[in-house]
Amino acid sequence: MAILNNPFDEYAPLEPTEQMKRNEICWCRSGRKWKNCHRLRSDKSPLPLSAFNARFYEEAKTTKFCLHPSAPAGCSDTVCAAHTIQKRTGLIALAEDRHVLSARDSSPASGSNLLQKVGIKKASTFYGFCADHDNRTFKPAESADQPNENVAFLLSYRALCFEVYTKKIGLQTLHFCRDNMDRGQAFPEQARIQQLLAASIFSTSLGYAEHLRSKDDWDAALLSGDRSNFSWSFVKFDGLLPIATSGVFIPEFDFEGNQLQALDAPRGSLALLGFNILPISGKTCAVFGWLDKKPQNARFLETLHAVPESHLASALIQFGFDTCDNLFVNPSWWDQLDKEKKTYLERNLRGSTPGSKWPTGLIPNDPPVLELPVIART
């Protein structure tokens, strides 16, 4: 695969134009004619900020399709609410009164709390597989009593599909913002808002394309059963961590604070790493999987396994907060944490967006937020 130069160099800022011919394509890149887009934008009633927050979750409820590589062949009629973390054995272990704390905030509420209570029936779900493909593809991982290569592959593949799905609805939400966020504003403010949105749409599109390229390789490995290019690693604890999380991310910094890669790297050169921290047979396992031999992933795992055992559980909790908002937390454990530790983890969570990482966010906290013995690792 040819590797190109920095893809961000291709971005061209908007050229806001207050007056255009009625049938010209609007300067905001909506693809619509100016007369149907920004001509009367300043006369429209503004929408509250809550409308834009809610839009993402509405998109997540209504966008339904099957990401299996064979789709639509073999698809059942129903696109199910697939769990990235199994409800029966994973979320239930963290839940109290069948609720966990969620960083995804699937029911937006006012207030500053980063973690919101959500029922385990809805927690960790996404409409990215039909019921038949979801069951047939991931049943071996959900019924396993120990992590192994196939379990690691399937968990990582599902996490990648979740990221593809999330980025798709993220783009749909940004398009809604482009069409509505500057309603009622004077032209200079319209221009400012649209410049920010255009840059966000461009960068999100790059991330979406990068994950789709990666998914092509994972799809081929799924269908062929060939795992020769797949690598994996895991840590198993003698007990349960108070968190569960699942996703695919671009390792920017390791557990020693070293930068591994930057997001402006050439297309095709970024290393993506799948991760799942979840209970398996009553013991929390942290499972990582990747499908290429890029050195960034190997280095990331080397520094993880170099963390002293007394700090490893704590380091993985930090990782969960640092890396992904598809994060679920035991309510009592969170409530009993002292203010300093909560503030530390919340800082990681606020910086979980790629490109805004806190460089030292994965360096193990001392004293650790939790200690738990390790009983197996590879």
Give residue 350's pLDDT.
83
Count the helix, strand and coil residues of the chain and give each as a percent rounded to the nearest 5.
40, 15, 40
Residue range of the domain that includes 248: 231-377
Pair of tokens at residue 304: 């993880």
Cis peptide before 72 (omega within 30 of 0): yes
In the chain, what percentage of residues exceed pLDDT 90?
83
Contact 159, 274 (CB under 8 A): yes
pLDDT, tens digit, 9 for 90 and up, residues 69-120: 999 999 999 999 999 998 888 899 999 999 999 987 644 444 457 899 999 9
Q: Which of 224, 259, 289 is the last residue of a domain?
A: 224
Q: What pLDDT is attached to residue 119?
A: 95
Mean pLDDT, all residues of the chain: 92
Q: Which of 101-105, 283-287, 302-306, 332-336 shows the lowest mean pLDDT across its residues?
A: 101-105
Is the bond leading into 367 cis (omega within 30 degrees of zero)? yes
Quickly state the pLDDT bin for 17 (edges 50, 70, 90).
Answer: very high
Q: What is the DSSP letter of 114?
A: S
Q: CB–CB of 128/65 below 8 Å? A: yes
How many folded domains does the chain comprise?
2
Could you tell me the pLDDT band of residue 28, with boundaries at 50, 70 and 90?
Answer: very high
Both 214 and 297 in one domain: the answer is: no
pLDDT of res. 1: 42
Lowest mean pLDDT among 7-11, 170-174, 363-367: 7-11
271 and 128 in a common domain? no
Contact 242/317 with Cβ under 8 angstroms? yes
pLDDT tens digits for range 120-153: 998 999 999 999 999 999 999 999 999 999 999 9
Segment 275-291 mean pLDDT: 96
DSSP notation for 214-277:
HHHHHHHHHHH---TT-EEEEEEESS--SEEEEEEE---B-TTS-B---TTSPTT----EEEEE
Start-to-end Cα distance in the chain:
31
Within a domain: 27: no
- Please name every residue paired with 266 in a beta bridge, in sequence order, or none if there are none: none
Determine, yes or no, domain membership for 133: yes
Q: Examine the fold and report which residue of 183, 202, 224 is the final residue of a domain before the chain moves on.
A: 224
Residues 235 and 340 in one domain: yes
- The answer, yes or no, to whether residue 16 has pLDDT greater than 70, is yes
| 36 DSSP 8-state letter | G
3-21: average pLDDT:
86
* pLDDT band, residue 355 (cuts 50/70/90): low
User: Dihedrals φ, ψ of 13, to 5°?
Assistant: -60, 155
Question: 238 and 202: one domain?
Answer: no
Q: Domain boundary residue among 182, 204, 224?
A: 224
Residue 110, domain member (yes or no): no
